[in-house]
Structure 1
Amino acid sequence: MRVIPITQYHESTMQLAQPVYDRQRRILLSAPQFIHPKYLAKLQEVGIRTLFVEDAESRGITLEEMMDIPSWLDVVQAVQETYDAVAARKTFPLRGIQQAAGRLIKEMQGRQLVLGVPPSTLAENLRPYAHAVNVSIMALQVGKLLGYHELMLRDLAIGCLLHDIGKATGKENEEHPAAGFEIMRSVRELNLLSAHVAFQHHERMDGQGYPRGIQGNAFVQYAQVCGLCNAYENLIEKVPPHEAMEMVMAWSGRAYSVEIVQAFVRAVPAYPPGTKIRLQAGEEAIVTKITSHMQRPVVRRLTTGEEISLADEPTIMIAGSI
């Protein structure tokens, strides 16, 4: 199984491997099945840009590192309900967002890696909430490497799930962080550090961020973790993951602390399972799993079917994704 752009789907060689959901999170197309061109066009109309497929190249790839889609959608729903409540000026649904954070922490416990589901597999109206969930998943893994205990992870997760909550008030661009901070600090049961995640997630250590242009230690660590994960999640919508990872490393000591960037690189793979890549020698391969090293996965050569662990083969380099 792998994720492909919907424009690359071929009915003769590919089968849908995971259900497709509509704007209300109902199953639009079940799996497994071949997608008729008429239905493919309908999916594109609702804004779905990527699909989970099975084909000859992805045989045996289980994507077991990815969070179970129904569970992931439950967390997406909790975030959406919180946004809706804030937009309607209703009582803040604290219990739902706390349970969502706890669910993500439980997913992470005992697992080396948890991947979020690509937001582009959903209808467009759900993507902002899916984005927040994926930022939280990455941030929790960074926090784990930084030695955060469970209470710290919970506060980090809540801050990340709600980092853009200011947008629910209609505030955009440089106004939404302050609006989000005001919303969160008004909820007595939320840690003020979680509110600072919303306030500072667009700041930078060098003072080039917003809304306040703070520098150095004024940029709290939770907000740095969220800010880096948020920036990366936005980048991989526009550029290949390996290019986004290079940009992350270039931010070390400038936009974010060296410690946090190093933890991020150790926690988040640039080449998730199912990614087609080109090796430096020109061979095409596909990532099958992540084992001991996040940036050196196990890959299968597409010409021979041979699987090799790049962590054990330091002379074999990845040229980029295909």
Structure 2
Amino acid sequence: MRQSSINRLKQGDVLGRTIYANDGRVLLGRGIALTSSYIQRLRELGITIVYVDDEETKDIVVEDIISEEHRREAMSYLELSGQAIQVGKDFDGFKVKKAVKNIIEDIFSQKDIFISLTDMRSYDNQVFAHSVSVCVLATVLGKALGLDQNNLEALAIGALFHDIGTVKLPKELLRKREAFTIKEADLFETHTSLGFDILRSKRELSLISAHIAFQHHERLNGSGYPRKLEGDGIHHLALIVGISDFYDNLVNDGPGHTRILPHDACEILMGCSDKLFPHDLVVTFLKHIAAYPTGCTVKLNTGEIGIIVDQNKSLPMRPIVRVLQAGKDLNQVKAREYDLVKKRTTFIESILE
């Protein structure tokens, strides 16, 4: 299985991972041969990245940190909660706690966690998919930091609902991918206060989770919002969600922005150390992130093109690459792999999309 940009898809490519709607319905199932109309529909939905299976990469396994069932369950509960909030009704906080418990159990069932999967997001499920991914990232970081069970649950719920205030914002604002105007940015920033007001009324949820939604855009140097808090004035769990949200927004399209590549996002995040986020938090976070995700196509400094087939967790910038070609024809397969930890003069020049 390999990653492919929507722009590189061609008729006959076989889908390697199922694409779901935000309510859990299957949009396109794994194993389906893509037609030109399917590809066009994916483009209309706003999906920019998919996974495909082919002979050269059928043995490459790209595993999620949590089960597909639990990811879909969390997205479904988020959507139902959002629908209830939009019409002024209450939502079931106990179902949310159940979904979060499943995510935490999935994460704690794994010893060494390294995040390499890229989400396949549409315009309609972007907010919910983003929220679940931020929940996963924050919980992985919380586990690495040794948080106790109560703090971990409050963290995961706050992460899952960190953007819940956006359900009260105009849909056209959330679908916009170009930079916001000043007026649009001011409106979007209200989602933190809206989220706090929604969550603090839920007695079955920790008040800390509400403060996470309120503070997840605050930054160490006081440049964040809504209150421009600094340093110790920001709750430490909000900083964990903040860095998770920041990274996920870098590597995925979202309201007011388009994505960049993971290795560039890792460099940006390191540059934010001790400015936007504490240095130790940045270092711990990056230990669990694949700079070059498994399944992506890369160009090496040798001129060769290959697929990332595995990771060196001790050195994330030096993965294992299967060379597919020397030229531009992806059908000229070469049966050799480079472990970039051992092959020190070879390095990745770029990710090809």
Name the TM-score, length of structure 2 as normaliser: 0.83
1:77 deviation in Å? 0.8
Partner of 1:267: 288
Secondary structure of 1:286 counterpart: strand
Q: How does 1:189-228 map to 2 (within 5 A)?
A: 189-228=204-243
Residue identity matched to 2:285: F
Shift in CA distance, 268/150, structure 1 to aligned 2, threshold 3 Å: farther
1:18 deviation in Å? 2.3
Q: What are the superposed Cα offsets for residues 105-124 of structure 1, whole Å, 9 maximum, x if unpaired?
A: 111113222648644x2442
Answer yes or no: is the 8 Å Cα contact 1:67–1:115 preserved in 2.
Answer: no
Q: What are the superposed Cα offsets for residues 259-318 of structure 1, whole Å, 9 maximum, x if unpaired?
A: 110111111222121011223343322111235334433322224332343345555433
Gaps of 5+ in 1: none
Partner of 1:7: 7
Q: What are the superposed Cα offsets for residues 8-30 of structure 1, whole Å, 9 maximum, x if unpaired?
A: 11235x31122333465322333
Answer yes or no: is the 8 Å Cα contact 1:114–1:137 preserved in 2.
Answer: no
Q: What is the aligned-residue identity percentage?
A: 31
Distance 2:283 2:66 in 1: 24
Answer yes or no: is the 8 Å Cα contact 1:290–1:297 preserved in 2.
Answer: yes
Shift in CA distance, 193/311, structure 1 to aligned 2, threshold 3 Å: farther
1:66 deviation in Å? 5.0
Partner of 1:280: 301
Answer yes or no: is the 8 Å Cα contact 2:295–2:307 preserved in 1.
Answer: yes
Partner of 1:258: 279
Shift in CA distance, 256/289, structure 1 to aligned 2, threshold 3 Å: same
Shift in CA distance, 188/27, structure 1 to aligned 2, threshold 3 Å: closer
1:170 counterpart = 2:169? yes
Answer yes or no: is the 8 Å Cα contact 2:116–2:294 preserved in 1.
Answer: no
Secondary structure of 2:129 counterpart: helix
Q: What are the superposed Cα offsets for residues 63-93 of structure 1, whole Å, 9 maximum, x if unpaired?
A: 1245443331111111112222222222231
Bigger drift between 152-161 and 57-66 goes to: 57-66
Residue identity matched to 1:190: L
Partner of 1:319: 349
Between structures 1 and 2, the one with greater helix share: 1
Residue identity matched to 1:252: S
Partner of 1:134: 133
Shift in CA distance, 80/114, structure 1 to aligned 2, threshold 3 Å: farther
Shift in CA distance, 47/292, structure 1 to aligned 2, threshold 3 Å: closer
Distance 1:7 1:185 in 2: 43
Distance 1:23 1:164 in 2: 15
Answer yes or no: is the 8 Å Cα contact 2:75–2:129 preserved in 1.
Answer: yes
1:297 counterpart = 2:319? yes
Residue identity matched to 2:74: V
Bigger drift between 255-264 and 39-48 goes to: 39-48
1:31 deviation in Å? 2.8
Bigger drift between 72-81 and 58-67 goes to: 58-67
Distance 1:54 1:15 in 2: 5
Answer yes or no: is the 8 Å Cα contact 2:299–2:351 preserved in 1.
Answer: yes
Partner of 1:242: 263
Secondary structure of 1:103 counterpart: helix
Q: How does 1:15-94 map to 2 (within 5 A)?
A: 15-22=14-21, 24-94=23-93
Shift in CA distance, 101/286, structure 1 to aligned 2, threshold 3 Å: same
Secondary structure of 2:51 counterpart: strand
Q: CA RMSD in A?
A: 2.2
Distance 1:306 1:46 in 2: 37
Answer yes or no: is the 8 Å Cα contact 2:292–2:308 preserved in 1.
Answer: yes
Answer yes or no: is the 8 Å Cα contact 1:107–1:114 preserved in 2.
Answer: no
Secondary structure of 1:42 counterpart: helix
Distance 1:181 1:295 in 2: 38
Answer yes or no: is the 8 Å Cα contact 1:286–1:301 preserved in 2.
Answer: yes
Distance 1:52 1:83 in 2: 29
Instruction: Point out 4+ residue stretches in structure 1 off by more than 6 angstroms.
Output: none
